[in-house]
A = this chain, B = another copy of it.
């Protein structure tokens, strides 16, 4: 028996969510659907140009952990905020849903990281992130006892952007495997894969049990000519690869088996922010409960369907009530 089903490690961010149109993205040279890293000056400039916004806790892995707890899983989180108002908001929102977040806040240095999330009328989100305090996550923030006490560790590929966090990531994976725990990662974003392709490919071969990637990300990782080619490339490199395909559902590659899981029904898609994060939450909840891969994929689909039907990247209802 472990203390936690899942320990997440990620960039702790507050989302600043705004409605925007394609003209706004074009005017400011923003790649639609992607996540761009920007410096604080650029972030402030874009913010002054944006319409009225709503703030809520985000961060890819933070969203996953909120979803995991909403499903009933026992979760913990490692990430770095500043002791400012947004840092307190981030901490509150994990505490409030029952995720243990013990990493101390930074007492000085940059403010809590933020992500400007521009949602276009087609429900796609385009993101500009200033990492802020998240860049101060280091190996020292990895609590070995907590890693050993967790059935699985989950990390976001975005962690490879702040250099110190990458080292923390690898250290956590080593501790986990030494304790016979599982290690999982999401590739996060195809631009992120472009930035760190060789490191990611090496990591998957050496440290990862469960890989999450969408179609663009897995194709980019192996520089494949098609989704099927990418699927063949990842086969055998980790215990399970979860390949998500938006409205086409997901493909779960587990050893010699390939499971095609249809997407869960959803009414109007309002904001796709958090879809991948919540799929991972659902899959890992099923996995840590001992469910088979197809069932895990179905739970992932249900969690993703809930979050894309409203603004914001965390569940608006108790996900356990949807199962």
Using a CB–CB cutoff of 8 Å, the interface residues on chain A facing chain B are: 19, 47-48, 50-57, 66, 84-86, 89, 92-93, 95-97, 111, 312, 314, 316
**Listed A/B pairs (12) with beta-carbon separation below 8 Å:** A48-B92, A50-B92, A52-B93, A53-B56, A54-B55, A54-B312, A55-B55, A55-B56, A55-B89, A85-B85, A85-B86, A85-B111
A52-B97, A84-B85, A85-B111 given; 7 more Cβ-contact pairs under 8 Å: A47-B92, A50-B96, A52-B57, A53-B89, A54-B56, A55-B55, A85-B85
Asked if residues B314 and A52 are in contact (CB atoms below 8 Å), the reply is: yes
Q: Chain B residues near A96 (CB, 8 Å)? A: 50-53
Instruction: Tell me the complex Cα distance, A312–B84, Å.
Output: 23
Instruction: Tell me the complex Cα distance, A52–B70, Å.
Output: 11
8 cross-chain pairs, A with B, having the tightest CB-CB distances, nearest first:
A55-B55, A85-B85, A52-B93, A54-B56, A51-B96, A52-B96, A52-B97, A85-B86
Chain B residue at minimal CB-CB distance from A52:
B93
Chain B residue at minimal CB-CB distance from A51:
B96
Q: Chain B residues near A97 (CB, 8 Å)? A: 51-52
Instruction: Tell me the complex Cα distance, A84–B312, Å.
Output: 23
Q: Chain B residues near A52 (CB, 8 Å)? A: 57, 66, 92-93, 96-97, 314
A246 CB, min distance to chain B CBs, angstroms: 24
Chain B residue at minimal CB-CB distance from A95:
B48
Instruction: Tell me the complex Cα distance, A49–B86, Å.
Output: 18
Instruction: Tell me the complex Cα distance, A89–B50, Å.
Output: 12
